Chain A
Amino acid sequence: MQASRDSIIDIWGERSPYRGEWPVRVDQCTSEEPDHWVQSACVLCSNGCGIDIGVKNGRIVGVRGRKEDIVNFGRMGPKGLHGWVANNSKDRLTKPLIRENGKLREAGWDEAMNLIVQRSKEIIEKQTSLGIGFYTSGQLFLEEYYTLGVIGKAGLGTPHMDGNTRLCTATSAAALKASFGSDGQPGSYSDIDTTDCVLHFGHNIASQQTVLWMRILDRLAGPNPPKVVVIDPRETYTAQKATVHLAPKPGTNIPVMNGLLHLIITAGHINRAYIDAHTVGFEELEKIVTEWPPERVEKLSGVPAAKLREAARILGTTRSLVSTVLQGVYQSMQATAAAVQINNLHLVRGLIGSDGCGIYQMNGQPTAQNTRECGADGDLPAFRNWSNKEHVQQLAGLWNVELHKIPHWSPPTHAMQIWRFAEAGSIKMLWISGTNPAVSMPELSRIREILQKEDLFVVAQDAFMTETTKFADVVLPAAIWGEKTGCYTNVDRTVHISHKAVEPPGEARSDFDIFIDYSRRMGFKDKDGADLIKWNTPEEAFEAWKECTRGRPCDYTGMSYSKLTGGSGIQWPCNEKFPEGSHHLYTDGVFNTAADYCETYGHDLDTGAAVTQEEYKAIDPNGKAFLKGSDYIPPHEAPDEEYPLWLTTGRLVYHFHTRTKTGRSKELHEAAPDGYVQISEEDAAKYNIAEGDMIEVASRRGKIVEPAKIGGIGPGIVFVPFHYGYWDNEERPRAANELTITEWDAVSKQPHFKYAAVKISKTGGILDKIGEAIETIKEKFKPGET
């Protein structure tokens, strides 16, 4: 492998300090010299770096960063530089598979698709389309999600469609909607270039978005470096660069944020004029946070009052601020309420909608934004409001179907509820595309049971055999990135095109073609009897999508395949008014909250109860942003005598998701070949555990066995990376989600992966076995017991 650097060791590469512009640095990794390059964007995290795919003799032989792209200016991280080799893996799925007599056998496309159609029709006959659910991904392309969304909503008419985005970015969308009236990130990555302060909340950016972290490192290496505030229970790479690092106990994000806001408000570090002109709800927020003086916060969260004050002083006095939020918030208790507090911080300080002031409610996946935009998750396309009949009517008009065909009687069903319906038996067919729930969902023993249910017909569409496809009734081989054309949108609304570089292996087909094939075979028509899906190519789908976005916040009407090809990605909204796209939303302090425009009427942050149209119209903020507060609610499971430690789960720099791609790169695999359990020095001493000892971690739901890694975490907390499952190692239970809890945030419905009560014990070693034998002998010879 020829590479511009060894990104396994040198994760972020050489510094190119920011001095008025972020210099270009082209990163590259190839196995052979390509005969040509094809424009694309990276799909191995949510950052969305512009890259080129190197092709030789019809095979992918490498990647390089695009120097002209505004996201990365040529840079790439280790996952992107190495993950492409998965396309060439020998174990790609190349033929459809059908379960027969308990075993999967090869089949033709006609046979597989006809079986799916036959089962669909049988289920609809008995139960209507409420018997069918879709569980998709944050990995497909915009054109595929939109096609799937239209099929689900206007073809079948089922509300049961969601993505694994529910596990990673549902709270991002929920928090943006709650504060600003619709999804859509207010800021731009370019804010990092000029900001005075960066706040990372539950976001180990150094490991997760390595290229975005390079941008921050280059600011830190230049003149006038920004201050960095990090809120994370672990001493991560990110935390090591912090000016102030707050390390709260699991489940205490709300007390910490309430405490910070309380200090900022009482110090008078707020922008009254902005609050009065552009927000509603300040008094109520103030009342709630007043209850959280630093000493009370310290008692509950373990964050020293002095440190909280220091952080509040920095955040309260900085003249510009970039905040990033991720899973430490989204996958923990009171997720939406805590994420909203970051929006509140920017609003009360008036730091939004201008250069250097960005909020990135981060996404976890490269195309998660499109799952949300296109209606392939629990939302309607183009941020339309399911409880606003006029919005639903717009879609009915666009698709030429009757209004009542589109399910809008209640919110589209979220993933956790879709799985629950399957468990309870009212969903009989679950179509899974581009995701691996048998490793990524919480409480895996339950997920395996559901997947194996006799009365549940499971379709799995993937590029590889996974822990999930193993249980499927039909497996469809999918073409992936590099093998198909389409667009996707990253965290800062930058839309990239990814051109097809090579043919998919064997008979594998794009998700796009598979969904359209299903629609045609099902005979989905519009109300005039024409095909419901009126497009055959991704470009035609993109044109249809543009019409769907017209006049909505995510307006794509000014883009085209040709405009996206050749240069940099473009940030939406891009239309007649903003032909080159937009760096910021809300530059004029007018938000998307008007009753006839907003994506949601909002929710009670504690219960998730939906505000009705009538209630909302009575308080119509008509463009002002919401300041919403919430008081502390303790986690539903906390350590006790039996399970005395907190479990928290997370990610490693070298892997993505369940490693279906990254695990197939030799370099990435060898950099992080196995899971581990991270514990503090104090707990290691207490349990007599040495580095590398095999440890059993058990919760009320399951157990895993992992080698111990000591240090870098507080006492009483156990960390396990969630990437590792069983496709390449079935020797021991090692998936972190064997331990996690089936429960979710009241508003965003995102599951709580960041806390659970566990116990640990040493296991497996020969000395332990001897120890156990001696104990048994002792038991047998206890005096008085014969």
Chain B
Amino acid sequence: MHIGKYISLVHRTEIDLVKAFRLVADAHRDEVDVYQICMLLSSWSQSLSDDVQIFAEKYGEENDDEPDRLTQTLLKKARKGGMALLRDLHDLYLIVSEAEVCCAILQQGAAGLRDDALMLTCEEIERQSKRQLSWIYTRMRSAAPQTLIAAG
């Protein structure tokens, strides 16, 4: 059984997101709404990773060497400025999408196992990931014209 592999992926991606949202918040403190919402979304990922932790203990996490995981290639360090904000939000979008995809796969496993508790957790992750994506999408799109056209 390899469900531990996807539990680990979801778990690690949420932990990465806790840090990633925080990193973007700190790098763009001057964009007040970005700072505050990223801090809020970071706390959501913290809570989701805590939820998954229980199942990591139940099924065992299965780590393997995957140095090229998406989250490690994105958002390595803080960048500043308008274009950097757009790029950072873009990266965040990809990482949250990774969490969402991992979760969708895990959810199939949970269904096969008839593990209702894991199902509920997966549904919560899916719900919150969609809310995170939706905010990033909204904010990126509203920042784009000014950044691409009017900024110096």
Contact between chains at B82 and A608 (CB < 8 Å): no
How does the 8 Å CB contact mask read for A424-440 relative to B, with 1 for contact and 0 for none?
Answer: 11110000000000000
* B22-49 CB contacts (< 8 Å) to partner A: 30-33, 36-37, 40-41
Report the Cα distance A332→B139, complex, angstroms: 22
Give the chain A neighbours of B32 by CB distance below 8 A. 416, 420, 742-744
**A653 CB–B CB distance under 8 Å:** no
**A746 CB–B CB distance under 8 Å:** yes
Known contacts: A609-B135, A610-B138. The answer to whether A424 contacts B151 by CB under 8 A is yes
**A781 CB–B CB distance under 8 Å:** no
Whole-angstrom distance between the Cβ of B42 and the nearest chain A Cβ: 12
Report the Cα distance A627→B152, complex, angstroms: 44
Report the Cα distance A691→B146, complex, angstroms: 51
Report the Cα distance A609→B152, complex, angstroms: 27
Nearest B residue to A428 via CB reads: B150
Question: Which of B131, B137, B146, B152: most chain A Cβ within 10 A?
Answer: B146
Contact between chains at B150 and A609 (CB < 8 Å): no
Contact between chains at B33 and A604 (CB < 8 Å): no
Whole-angstrom distance between the Cβ of A752 and the nearest chain B Cβ: 10
Report the Cα distance A744→B150, complex, angstroms: 24
Report the Cα distance A416→B146, complex, angstroms: 15
Whole-angstrom distance between the Cβ of B140 and the nearest chain A Cβ: 10
Whole-angstrom distance between the Cβ of A156 and the nearest chain B Cβ: 13
Contact between chains at B137 and A609 (CB < 8 Å): yes
Give the chain B neighbours of A744 by CB distance below 8 A. 32-33
CB-contact partner of A608 in B138, B149, B151, under 8 A: B138
**A266 CB–B CB distance under 8 Å:** no
Whole-angstrom distance between the Cβ of A691 and the nearest chain B Cβ: 37
* A113-137 CB contacts (< 8 Å) to partner B: 127-128, 130-131
* B108-126 CB contacts (< 8 Å) to partner A: none
Whole-angstrom distance between the Cβ of B78 and the nearest chain A Cβ: 17
Report the Cα distance A608→B149, complex, angstroms: 24
Report the Cα distance A421→B143, complex, angstroms: 10
Give the chain B neighbours of A743 by CB distance below 8 A. 32-33, 36
Give the chain A neighbours of B31 by CB distance below 8 A. 420
Contact between chains at A607 and B41 (CB < 8 Å): yes
Nearest A residue to B131 via CB reads: A604
CB-contact partner of A410 in B40, B135, B142, B152, under 8 A: B142
Known contacts: A410-B145, A424-B82. The answer to whether A609 contacts B138 by CB under 8 A is yes
Contact between chains at A131 and B150 (CB < 8 Å): yes
Nearest A residue to B31 via CB reads: A420
Nearest B residue to A745 via CB reads: B33
Report the Cα distance A417→B145, complex, angstroms: 13
Whole-angstrom distance between the Cβ of B47 and the nearest chain A Cβ: 12
**B134 CB–A CB distance under 8 Å:** yes
Nearest B residue to A636 via CB reads: B36
Report the Cα distance A425→B152, complex, angstroms: 8
Whole-angstrom distance between the Cβ of A456 and the nearest chain B Cβ: 13
Contact between chains at B146 and A426 (CB < 8 Å): yes
Report the Cα distance A411→B141, complex, angstroms: 9
Contact between chains at A409 and B145 (CB < 8 Å): yes
Whole-angstrom distance between the Cβ of B151 and the nearest chain A Cβ: 4
Contact between chains at B134 and A746 (CB < 8 Å): no
Report the Cα distance A409→B143, complex, angstroms: 11
**A633 CB–B CB distance under 8 Å:** yes
CB-contact partner of A609 in B30, B82, B131, B151, under 8 A: B131
Nearest A residue to B32 via CB reads: A743
Report the Cα distance A636→B82, complex, angstroms: 24
* A584-630 CB contacts (< 8 Å) to partner B: 604, 606-611
Give the chain A neighbours of B146 by CB distance below 8 A. 130, 421, 426
Known contacts: A426-B82, A426-B151. The answer to whether A607 contacts B135 by CB under 8 A is yes
Nearest A residue to B137 via CB reads: A609
Nearest B residue to A610 via CB reads: B138
Whole-angstrom distance between the Cβ of B69 and the nearest chain A Cβ: 26
Nearest B residue to A615 via CB reads: B134
CB-contact partner of B135 in A417, A427, A608, under 8 A: A608
CB-contact partner of B150 in A130, A416, A604, A742, under 8 A: A130
Report the Cα distance A743→B82, complex, angstroms: 19
Report the Cα distance A421→B82, complex, angstroms: 10
* A359-417 CB contacts (< 8 Å) to partner B: 409-411, 413, 416-417
Known contacts: A607-B135, A609-B138. The answer to whether A130 contacts B149 by CB under 8 A is yes
Give the chain A neighbours of B150 by CB distance below 8 A. 127-128, 130-131, 421, 426-427
Nearest A residue to B141 via CB reads: A410
Contact between chains at B134 and A609 (CB < 8 Å): yes
Contact between chains at B152 and A130 (CB < 8 Å): no
CB-contact partner of A607 in B82, B134, B145, under 8 A: B134
Whole-angstrom distance between the Cβ of B27 and the nearest chain A Cβ: 14
Give the chain A neighbours of B145 by CB distance below 8 A. 130, 159, 409-410
Contact between chains at A127 and B149 (CB < 8 Å): yes
Report the Cα distance A340→B5, complex, angstroms: 43
Give the chain A neighbours of B36 by CB distance below 8 A. 636, 743
Known contacts: A421-B146, A425-B151. The answer to whether A607 contacts B141 by CB under 8 A is no
Contact between chains at A607 and B149 (CB < 8 Å): no
Report the Cα distance A130→B147, complex, angstroms: 10
Contact between chains at B134 and A604 (CB < 8 Å): yes
Whole-angstrom distance between the Cβ of B67 and the nearest chain A Cβ: 33
Contact between chains at A633 and B40 (CB < 8 Å): yes
Contact between chains at B40 and A607 (CB < 8 Å): yes
Whole-angstrom distance between the Cβ of A425 and the nearest chain B Cβ: 6
Contact between chains at B151 and A604 (CB < 8 Å): no
Whole-angstrom distance between the Cβ of B93 and the nearest chain A Cβ: 12
Give the chain B neighbours of A742 by CB distance below 8 A. 32
Whole-angstrom distance between the Cβ of B46 and the nearest chain A Cβ: 15
Give the chain A neighbours of B142 by CB distance below 8 A. 410-411, 413, 417
Whole-angstrom distance between the Cβ of A743 and the nearest chain B Cβ: 5
Whole-angstrom distance between the Cβ of A31 and the nearest chain B Cβ: 47
Give the chain A neighbours of B149 by CB distance below 8 A. 127-128, 130
Report the Cα distance A127→B149, complex, angstroms: 6
Whole-angstrom distance between the Cβ of B23 and the nearest chain A Cβ: 18
Give the chain B neighbours of A633 by CB distance below 8 A. 40
Report the Cα distance A744→B144, complex, angstroms: 21
Known contacts: A410-B141, A411-B142. The answer to whether A608 contacts B152 by CB under 8 A is no
Give the chain A neighbours of B37 by CB distance below 8 A. 607-608, 746
18 CB contacts below 8 A, A to B, read A127-B149, A130-B150, A409-B145, A411-B142, A420-B31, A424-B82, A425-B152, A426-B152, A607-B40, A607-B41, A607-B134, A608-B33, A608-B138, A633-B40, A636-B36, A742-B32, A743-B33, A746-B33
Name 20 extra pairs, CB < 8 A, besides A744-B32, A746-B33: A127-B150, A128-B150, A410-B141, A410-B142, A413-B142, A420-B30, A424-B82, A425-B151, A425-B152, A426-B152, A427-B150, A604-B131, A604-B134, A607-B37, A607-B134, A607-B135, A608-B33, A608-B135, A609-B137, A633-B40
The 10 closest A-B pairs by CB, nearest first: A130-B150, A609-B134, A609-B135, A410-B142, A607-B135, A426-B150, A127-B150, A426-B151, A610-B138, A609-B138
Q: Which residues of B contact A (CB under 8 A)?
A: 30-33, 36-37, 40-41, 82, 131, 134-135, 137-138, 141-142, 144-147, 149-152
